[in-house]
């Protein structure tokens, strides 16, 4: 038998979601059967798969210990560097400036360094995060950017922050601005572009279409020309929808791919430029809450900007 007390970070979850995250060795079929047979009880009573957990609830599980055992291991996140560029932090949230080249989450080529691993290490060493004291929650990223894109990434230090910010992202109450260099001069100095994006997960690539198709989602990309140099333009781009590779693919689709972009760009031009990454940076974030933000209400109307945007100095050095 195992007894677990639900913490603040666990509260609000469905029972089955909590069990799946907390005990990955427990087969789902057995979990559902155990709930039906009352081998899993909440506060000593029968519960349902969809029961929402509350802080202080006591979960009793009359199952074999093997499903709860965790082999001792060294936390992998301790292998990551304890290096973060923090723009803002309080007890609930971190706002960071991620440099290009750093992946945000581990993938199949994970080599023990990622933005989330660095966050876990820093918080662990400060004593703000201890995996042994958490059932299912770990500090998590609120938004993501591509490995070779630099810029602002938010991280939630508790489950309530993650829930609130996910809702704010869904309601589009967070304004995100990017700087980028594109090939050519734009036909208009400012415009709102609309198209439809199709994602190919297997190829890690997206495709843009003029008209909606079966597997497409609407994309809205707003841009403003800040400066022109040679045959290139420096743009400020506001993402009104946040789809995978949206800026890179959308601007390429209209004939103005990003400088240095090896996936959607012009290889001949990129070879001449010699840029190590695509010239794209998530440089500004503005909180524009239209609904209550609870413990994060203090962030409303605040704006955060990244510094040291690697391609700006090079762009300024180009002659017309």
Same domain, 148 and 178: no
Domain closes at, from 24, 42, 67: 67
Q: Which residues contact 102 (CB under 8 A, 6 or more apart)?
A: 113, 114, 115, 147
Per the CB < 8 A criterion, the answer to whether 190 and 267 are in contact is no
**34 and 106 inside one domain:** no
Give the number of domains in the chain: 3
The residue out of 149, 170, 191 marking a domain boundary is 170
Same domain, 133 and 198: no
pLDDT tens, residue by residue, 115-141: 999 999 999 999 999 888 888 899 999
pLDDT of residue 45: 92
Q: Average pLDDT in the 58-72 region?
A: 79
Q: What is the mean pLDDT of residues 213-234?
A: 96
Structural domain span for residue 34? 2-67
Q: Given this model, what pLDDT does residue 73 score? A: 57
Q: Are 258 and 182 spatial neighbours (Cβ–Cβ below 8 Å)?
A: yes
Tell me, yes or no, whether 132 and 241 share the same domain. no
Domain boundary among 67, 100, 121: 67
Position 195 pLDDT exceeds 90: yes
Give the span between the Cα atoms of 151 and 205, in whole angstroms: 21
- pTM assigned to the model: 0.84
CA dist list (Å): 85 to 38, 61, 94, 152, 280 = 49, 43, 10, 10, 18
Task: Mark whether 180 and 310 lie in a shared domain.
Answer: yes
The domain spanning residue 267 has which CATH number?
3.30.2350.10
- Does residue 311 sit in the same domain as residue 220? yes
Q: Are residues 84 and 208 in the same domain?
A: no
Domain match, 134 and 198 both: no
> Can you tell me the mean pLDDT for 248-257?
98
Same domain, 126 and 196: no
90 and 153 within one domain? yes
Percent of the chain with pLDDT over 70: 98
| Residues 124 and 157 both lie in one domain | yes
CATH number at residue 24: 3.10.290.10
pLDDT computed for residue 98 by the predictor: 97
Residues 206 and 142 in one domain: no
As beta bridge partners, residue 40 has 61
Q: Tokens at residue 180, please?
A: 């980028």
Cα–Cα distance, 19 to 22 (Å, whole number): 5
């Amino acid at each position: 038998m195992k007894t677990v007390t639900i913490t603040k970070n666990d509260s609000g979850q469905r029972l089955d979601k909590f069990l799946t995250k907390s005990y990955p060795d427990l087969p789902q079929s057995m979990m559902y059967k155990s709930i039906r047979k009352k081998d899993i009880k909440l506060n000593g009573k029968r519960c349902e798969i969809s029961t929402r957990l509350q802080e202080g609830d006591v979960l009793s599980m009359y199952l074999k210990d093997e499903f709860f055992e965790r082999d001792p291991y060294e936390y992998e996140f301790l292998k990551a560097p304890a290096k973060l560029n923090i723009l803002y932090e309080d007890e609930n949230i971190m706002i960071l400036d991620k440099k290009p080249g750093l992946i945000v989450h581990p993938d199949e080529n994970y080599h023990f360094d990622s933005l989330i691993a660095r966050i876990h290490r820093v918080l662990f060493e400060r004593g703000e995060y201890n995996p042994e004291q958490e059932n299912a929650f770990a500090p998590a990223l609120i938004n993501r950017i591509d490995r070779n894109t630099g810029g602002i990434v938010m991280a939630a230090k508790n489950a309530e922050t993650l829930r609130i910010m996910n809702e704010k992202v869904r309601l589009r109450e967070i304004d995100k601005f990017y700087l980028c260099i594109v090939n050519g001069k734009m036909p208009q100095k400012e415009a709102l572009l609309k198209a439809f994006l199709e994602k190919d997960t297997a190829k890690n690539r997206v495709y843009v279409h003029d008209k909606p198709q079966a597997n497409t989602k609407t994309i809205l990309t707003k841009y403003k020309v800040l400066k022109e140099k040679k045959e290139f333009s420096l743009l400020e781009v506001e993402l009104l929808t946040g789809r995978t590779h949206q800026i890179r693919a959308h601007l390429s689709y209209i004939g103005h791919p990003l400088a240095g972009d090896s996936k959607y760009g012009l290889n001949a031009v990129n070879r001449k430029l010699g840029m190590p990454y695509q010239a794209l940076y998530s440089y500004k974030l503005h909180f524009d809450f239209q609904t209550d933000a609870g413990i994060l209400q203090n962030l409303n109307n605040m704006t955060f900007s990244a510094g040291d945007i690697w391609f700006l100095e090079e762009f300024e050095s180009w002659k017309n």
